[in-house]
């Protein structure tokens, strides 16, 4: 495939993968179902999320986990399969963390914050610009205070940052440039990258230590 990545493809892929993450795909739990499996026993949300991140780090690259990903259910031809697979795994993890934090995954503002977390360490500056401090759980009024204009601006920044992250090489070479996802892009799942993204999501959506479920 000679098609080049661009910001439009990045954002279309994010939207596609987010929809699949919150609604589920055949053979895999949705983000909220994944989150609920960690929430059933109560306790600290912070500890739950750390456990979820560890699970992603240790299991996401296994062949059994990846078997549910190929195709991602009638994927549009304009979306690169390997890119969608990478994003789906990570978006599902972030959305599950947001759900544990009490956020409504169908809220467009929450969706945008999930996308921000995909920028990894680059998310810190984006969050700072909209008044969110990592390590302090996002209050409902903070989410409500994000305007449509701000969401548009954030999405533009995210598209650019992820385009830079994945590179403007032909998507056929994506596995060589960013070996994120095991059997689909030809390398092992990048534990470091996933861990960074998971930690950013945790520090965005979860209040440290004291936030518990009864």
pLDDT of residue 79: 65
Distance, CA of 136 to CA of 7 (rounded, Å): 30
Q: At what angle do helices 45-59 and 191-205 cross, to 10 degrees?
A: 160
pLDDT of residue 175: 41
pLDDT of residue 154: 86
pLDDT of residue 136: 65
Measured in residues, the chain has a length of 214
Q: Do the bridges between strand 43-44 and strand 212-213 make them parallel or antiparallel, or are there none, so unpaired?
A: antiparallel
pLDDT of residue 35: 96
pLDDT of residue 13: 85
Provide the 3-class DSSP secondary structure of residue 44: strand
Write out residues in the chain with pLDDT < 50, as ranges.
Answer: 1-3, 63-64, 67-68, 168-189, 214
- Hunting for tokens 């440039």 — which residue is that? 177
Structure tokens at 11: 């954002």
- Indicate the pTM of the whole model: 0.80
pLDDT of residue 183: 45
Query: Residue-wise over 135-146: b if at least 16 C-beta within 10 A, else e?
Result: eebbeeebbeeb
């Amino acid at each position: 495939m000679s098609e080049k990545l661009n910001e439009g493809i990045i954002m279309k892929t994010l939207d596609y993968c987010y929809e699949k993450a919150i609604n589920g795909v055949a053979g895999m739990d949705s983000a909220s179902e994944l989150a609920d499996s960690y929430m059933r026993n109560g306790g600290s949300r912070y500890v739950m999320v750390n456990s979820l991140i560890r699970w992603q780090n240790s299991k996401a690259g296994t062949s059994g986990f990846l078997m549910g990903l190929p195709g991602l259910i009638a994927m549009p031809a304009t979306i690169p399969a390997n890119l969608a697979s990478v994003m789906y795994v990570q978006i599902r993890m972030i959305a599950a963390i947001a759900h544990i934090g009490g956020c409504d995954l169908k809220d467009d503002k929450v969706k945008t914050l999930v996308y921000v977390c995909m920028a990894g360490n680059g998310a810190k500056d984006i969050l700072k610009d909209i008044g969110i401090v990592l390590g302090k759980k996002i209050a409902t009024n903070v989410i409500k205070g994000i305007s449509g204009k701000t969401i548009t601006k954030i999405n533009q920044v995210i598209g650019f940052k992820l385009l830079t992250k994945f590179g403007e090489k032909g998507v056929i070479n994506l596995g060589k440039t960013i070996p994120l996802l095991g059997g689909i892009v030809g390398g092992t799942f990048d534990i470091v990258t996933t861990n960074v993204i998971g930690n950013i999501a945790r520090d965005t959506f979860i209040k440290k230590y004291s936030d518990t479920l009864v």
